Amino acid sequence: MKKLQTLLLSCSVSVLAACAGPTYRVDAGAMFAVANGDIALQNAAGSLDLGSNQNSLDENMGLGDTEVSPYVRLQMDSDKHRVRVHGFGMDAEGSGTLAGTTPGTGNFGDIPAGTPVTTEMQFLAINANYGYELFRNQDFRVAGGLQLAYYSLDIAARSASGREEVQTDALVPYPFLEVEGFRGDFSAGANASIMGLDVGDGSGRYWDMEAYVRWERTIDRANLDVMVGYRYILLDAYGNASGRDFDADIDIQGVFISAGIRF
């Protein structure tokens, strides 16, 4: 998690230094995330049909358990402008058996189909977005803007015959749309970003969506809040990482819970 903490600190310092005089909100808590989907990795000879050598993260690699990780969120509001930086990371371990029983039906790199493996997965997501308020009244607001997301995915499998790994990074620019409603001490919001392009190590579809409910109260002159939300990230990419072709159709999703202060 040191990589997550360093990147989040760098982003937060940049945001706070660039904006003077607005209202800030800082939230921290936990993300309960689970990974789903399939992944394929080319062998050293380059002879595999990746479409026929898919392995499920859950069924074949044993990486389908819910993982708890730190979640951090920083937000600045100034007039019609909002800047937000938030992120979380996953670090999972598991074991399973690769798909298929014959060569070319479930290989993961040079590890043959049907082989028992121990596995590791690390995932990091850091998003920075800017939204400009398009409409607002006493009940809700609508904003549009841009989002820049950094995703890092590292999946490794080890067997008696060796170790294979997919390590890929992507920096994805998105259009950004956000809606938010207000009722008393409660607010609820949702935002979404969808993009299809060639970025980093892979080309494909990238989705990033979030919904949340926040309860806010002023206690002893401190503006405190509690937030519960849901995050969904889709990485459907084909590309080359560390000299090997890969095909990943993976989603990371889960509930986050945080508490924060506004000042």
Q: What is the average pLDDT score of the chain? A: 92
Q: What tens digit of pLDDT does each residue of 141-170 get? A: 999 999 999 999 999 999 998 999 999 999
Could you tell me which residues come within 8 angstroms of residue 189 by beta carbon, excluding any fewer than 6 positions away? 178, 179, 180, 181, 211, 212, 214
Task: Report the candidate in 250, 252, 251, 241 with the shortest Cα–Cα distance to residue 41.
Answer: 241
This prediction's pTM: 0.90
3 pLDDT tier (thresholds 50, 70, 90): low
Q: What tens digit of pLDDT does each residue of 93-114 get? A: 999 999 998 988 999 999 999 9
SS (HEC) of 143-162? EEEEEEEEEEEEEEEEECCE
Superfamily of domain 2-262: OMPT-like (2.40.128.90)
Average pLDDT over residues 81-88: 98
The predicted pLDDT at position 202 comes to: 81
